[in-house]
A and B are shown apart, each in its own frame.
Chain A
Amino acid sequence: MKNFVSILTLIGVLFILSACSEDEPDLIVTSFTDELQEPIEYFEQLHDVKVDLQIIPTENYVNTLRPALESGSGAPDVFTGEIVYLKDWIEQDYWENLSQEPYNVDEWRDDYMEYVWDLGINSNGEVRAVSWQTTPGGIYYRRSIAQEVLGTDDPEQIGQMFSTMEGLMEVGENMKQHNYRLFPDEGSIAPYTNGANPQPWVNENDELVMTEERLAYFDYAKELREKQYTALAPAWSPAWYASFTGPISYNVGWDEIDEDADQSDQTEVFAVSLPTWGLHSVLKEEAQETAGDWAVTNGPTPYFQGGTWIGMYKDSENKDLAFEFIKMLVNDQEFLTEWVMETGDVLSYYPVMEEVAADYADEFLGGQNHYDFFIERAEEIDASTVTRYDQQIDELFGTQVGAYVEGNLTKEEAIEEFYSQVVNAYPNIVVPE
């Protein structure tokens, strides 16, 4: 027994020692995805330094990082921010003011898309964060299925069909006749409901803004489900990823759809709504089997989703190196050209985009030049509707739409419940009667 205790003590001491002896990195970068892994490796070779990338999952990102930024203990040198809390963060004293000496990033201004640049400026006119990307969305679809069912795989023509909600539903019906499904899940239609009349979730008077268009999401989602235009594969679930590479099982768990039991229990998904970054971080990663069979086109309305800004911590001890990293990521022509060639990411940095977009063919997208398409779409982005509540309110809203689609609540009950949950989470917000 005594030995047992002393062995445990020994193990404990060894662990503590081993934890202490890890070598210190030169720079610590914190983000919510592994997207920066490759840029970091590039940077490490370039400058012969060691950079640590800490990834904190999106749902914990704000709550875990914020205390470190406020207290300074355990704060990273460089950290990213998602568009939804960007506005909040640039007003706090978290990111270093990049407008001042020796950074003077205001000189870069003209090279960037206006909305992307402006989002990083706080109310004092100081640039606190910058971004390399722009994130308009579209509908990615499978060329082979388009060819078989719709008789064409041309993005222009498909885009014509997708240009209204009715058109989208028509394609859905057509797909179903051939035992394909338009979308993996109902969420793919969400961008085009609010997109028809973009409004912030919460206005400057702290009032929740509910529009007809937002309410229409309930009906469209229900329609998609009832007419079986979706494959019941919720976004980001394993089945969702699997739906990009081939048939997935479609053993409907619902009573209402029983009559169609003679249909095959497998189905293949035609299309999915994703923003620019979906191409390299989702499709190119997870759908290698169907590479070359994809194309991207417009949906009924423009939309954009997400966007990562980056800045350096105001009390970082490695500001020079930190700025070098940021500079490479957003303003280094050579690096960004390489990055674009490899990933197909769409940049907000014109010099590279103009050069690349002029003559580009993405192999994954069957040779399509998606830059032409996305840069045009990016011009339509209105980022003024972004609020810091978006992530949580979208989640609450989606849950209630889901409850309605599943038949657990009526539309009125679901809306009522949504309002009540918003007030419960944010007592300061006033909801419509």
Chain B
Amino acid sequence: MKKGNHQAYLFIAPFVIVFLIFNIYPIFLTFYYSLTDYTGMGGIENARFIGVDNYIRLFSDRYFYQAFFNTIRIWGFNFIVQMLIALGLALLFSDIRLKLKGVGLFRALFYLPNIITIASVALLFSILLDWNHGGLNQMLLSLGFIDRPINWLNSPAYAQSAVALIGAWMWFGNSFIVLLAGISGISKDFYEAALIDGANWWQSFKFITIPQLKPILLYVLITSIIGGLQIFDLPMLLTDGNGSPQGALNTMVLYLYNQAFKYNNFGYGATIAYGLFFITVIFSAITFRTMYRKQV
């Protein structure tokens, strides 16, 4: 174990150097910016140090709250739909009595939207959902489901649902695969014992599947929160990039981007980044605690 210790430094050197320069330093730099009114122009040395003013502004900024609640709403709706489909499918495919065939094929087909550039998907839906000439309205009209086109992207509720559902459509395949793997990993002995004890399907689902699946569910939930809080590509490209309609698609990262790179408020943009970070930590911590509270 002790041999070659000096080489260990050599082996971790690239990682540590790059890590310090490209991860740690920008994070500290961003923090410093968040204490200034830096505009990205004329160098940071000319920016004014304003202490926690930006953070005070953040706490009373209704656009930030708007962005926060929009993000949570979109993520929440997305997560519920995505999990219902994914869990339903995982249960179907893992059912010992049904013995469904073609798992491999369906897994591949459902997973496919995952690998497609989100920007392409957003652009595709921005023209498919166009109210006057979009494919969706045209299809619904010609099938007779609606008699007048619906202006999907002009209604906050529809637009947020659209983002949530497009997200669910893209990512349910991934959750499905992960959950199916988790369920397949649960020992069959549990279910057989439950069957002998006369447990019905719901009882074995509630008392065996869910508890056994907890680590996987936690994994899915945490990755989904971290990803969901960072949603950017879809709301940015689905409408005008300013959060239209009526600010409904103004998400936290979109707000960060616009403040920093559109309006050149680098300092305040940096503050939003830290706001987002603390929210992510709090959410992950809450999830972690709720999931494990019972066992401790």
- A–B direct touch, CB within 8 Å, in complex? yes
Give the interface of A toward B (CB within 8 A). 59, 63, 66, 70, 232-233, 237-239, 249, 251-254, 258, 392, 395-396, 399, 403, 406, 408-409, 420-421, 424-427
Give 8 closest A-B pairs by Cβ, nearest first: A425-B263, A253-B149, A253-B151, A253-B131, A63-B261, A251-B149, A424-B63, A408-B246
A128→B258 CA distance, assembly (Å): 30
In the bound complex, residues from chain A placing their C-beta under 8 Å from that of B151 are 253-254
Q: Contact partner of A392 among B41, B148, B259, B262, CB < 8 A?
A: B262
In the bound complex, residues from chain B placing their C-beta under 8 Å from that of A408 are 154, 245-246
A357 to chain B, nearest CB (A): 39
Q: Taking each of B41, B61, B141, B150, which has the highest tally of chain A beta carbons within 10 Å of its own beta carbon?
A: B41
Interface string of B109-144 (1 = CB under 8 A from A): 000000000000000000000111100000001000
Interface string of B220-246 (1 = CB under 8 A from A): 000000000000000000001110111
A84 to chain B, nearest CB (A): 14
B139 to chain A, nearest CB (A): 14
A63→B148 CA distance, assembly (Å): 41
B133 near A399: Cβ-Cβ < 8 Å: no
Q: When A232-B132, A239-B132, A424-B63 are in contact, do A399 and B240 touch as well, CB less than 8 Å? A: yes
Q: When A239-B132, A424-B63, A427-B265 are in contact, do A399 and B244 touch as well, CB less than 8 Å? A: yes
Q: When A63-B261, A399-B244, A408-B245 are in contact, do A424 and B61 touch as well, CB less than 8 Å? A: yes
Closest chain B residue, CB of each to CB of A67 = B40
A403→B259 CA distance, assembly (Å): 22
A399 near B63: Cβ-Cβ < 8 Å: no
Contacts beyond the supplied A238-B133, A426-B263: 9 A-B pairs with Cβ under 8 Å = A59-B241, A63-B262, A66-B41, A251-B132, A253-B148, A399-B242, A408-B246, A421-B63, A425-B262
B262 near A249: Cβ-Cβ < 8 Å: no
A104→B61 CA distance, assembly (Å): 51
A252→B61 CA distance, assembly (Å): 37
A403 near B149: Cβ-Cβ < 8 Å: no
A395→B261 CA distance, assembly (Å): 16
A425→B261 CA distance, assembly (Å): 11
A120→B99 CA distance, assembly (Å): 76
A90 to chain B, nearest CB (A): 15
B245 near A251: Cβ-Cβ < 8 Å: no
B181 to chain A, nearest CB (A): 21
B interface residues, tally (CB under 8 Å): 28
In the bound complex, residues from chain A placing their C-beta under 8 Å from that of B241 are 59
B77 to chain A, nearest CB (A): 21
A238→B134 CA distance, assembly (Å): 11
A233→B246 CA distance, assembly (Å): 20
Closest chain A residue, CB of each to CB of B261 = A63
In the bound complex, residues from chain A placing their C-beta under 8 Å from that of B259 are 425
Q: Is the interface of B mostly helix, strand, loop or mixed?
A: loop
Q: When A63-B262, A406-B154, A427-B265 are in contact, do A395 and B149 touch as well, CB less than 8 Å? A: no
Interface string of B59-71 (1 = CB under 8 A from A): 0011100000000
A63→B41 CA distance, assembly (Å): 10
B277 to chain A, nearest CB (A): 21
A321→B259 CA distance, assembly (Å): 39
A–B complex contacts, Cβ < 8 Å, 17 sampled = A63-B262, A232-B132, A238-B133, A249-B132, A251-B132, A251-B149, A252-B148, A253-B148, A254-B151, A395-B242, A403-B246, A409-B246, A421-B63, A424-B61, A424-B63, A425-B258, A425-B263
Interface string of B248-262 (1 = CB under 8 A from A): 000000000011011
B160 to chain A, nearest CB (A): 14
Q: Taking each of A238, A253, A258, A395, which has the highest tally of chain B beta carbons within 10 Å of its own beta carbon?
A: A253
A252→B150 CA distance, assembly (Å): 9
Scan residues 47-102 of chain B and give those whose CB is less than 8 A from a CB of chain A: 61-63
B63 to chain A, nearest CB (A): 6
Q: Taking each of A70, A233, A392, A425, which has the highest tally of chain B beta carbons within 10 Å of its own beta carbon?
A: A425
In the bound complex, residues from chain B placing their C-beta under 8 Å from that of A392 are 262-263
B244 near A251: Cβ-Cβ < 8 Å: no
In the bound complex, residues from chain B placing their C-beta under 8 Å from that of A403 are 245-246
A392→B263 CA distance, assembly (Å): 8
In the bound complex, residues from chain B placing their C-beta under 8 Å from that of A70 are 41
Interface string of B264-280 (1 = CB under 8 A from A): 11001000000000000
A424→B268 CA distance, assembly (Å): 10
Closest chain B residue, CB of each to CB of A424 = B63
A388 to chain B, nearest CB (A): 11
Closest chain A residue, CB of each to CB of B156 = A408
B133 near A249: Cβ-Cβ < 8 Å: yes
In the bound complex, residues from chain A placing their C-beta under 8 Å from that of B150 are 253
A397→B245 CA distance, assembly (Å): 14
B55 to chain A, nearest CB (A): 14
B273 to chain A, nearest CB (A): 17
Closest chain A residue, CB of each to CB of B148 = A253
A409→B133 CA distance, assembly (Å): 25
A70→B42 CA distance, assembly (Å): 9
In the bound complex, residues from chain A placing their C-beta under 8 Å from that of B264 are 63
Q: Taking each of B132, B241, B245, B246, which has the highest tally of chain A beta carbons within 10 Å of its own beta carbon?
A: B132
A253 near B242: Cβ-Cβ < 8 Å: no
Q: Taking each of B133, B150, B241, B259, which has the highest tally of chain A beta carbons within 10 Å of its own beta carbon?
A: B133
In the bound complex, residues from chain B placing their C-beta under 8 Å from that of A66 are 41
Closest chain B residue, CB of each to CB of A398 = B240
In the bound complex, residues from chain B placing their C-beta under 8 Å from that of A420 are 62
B248 to chain A, nearest CB (A): 10
A395→B242 CA distance, assembly (Å): 10
A406→B133 CA distance, assembly (Å): 18
B152 to chain A, nearest CB (A): 10
In the bound complex, residues from chain A placing their C-beta under 8 Å from that of B261 are 63
A63→B130 CA distance, assembly (Å): 29
Scan residues 142-183 of chain B and give those whose CB is less than 8 A from a CB of chain A: 148-151, 154
In the bound complex, residues from chain B placing their C-beta under 8 Å from that of A406 are 154
A258→B147 CA distance, assembly (Å): 11
In the bound complex, residues from chain A placing their C-beta under 8 Å from that of B62 are 420
A251→B133 CA distance, assembly (Å): 9
A426→B259 CA distance, assembly (Å): 9
A299 to chain B, nearest CB (A): 26
Closest chain B residue, CB of each to CB of A426 = B263
In the bound complex, residues from chain B placing their C-beta under 8 Å from that of A409 are 246
A409→B148 CA distance, assembly (Å): 23
Closest chain B residue, CB of each to CB of A406 = B154
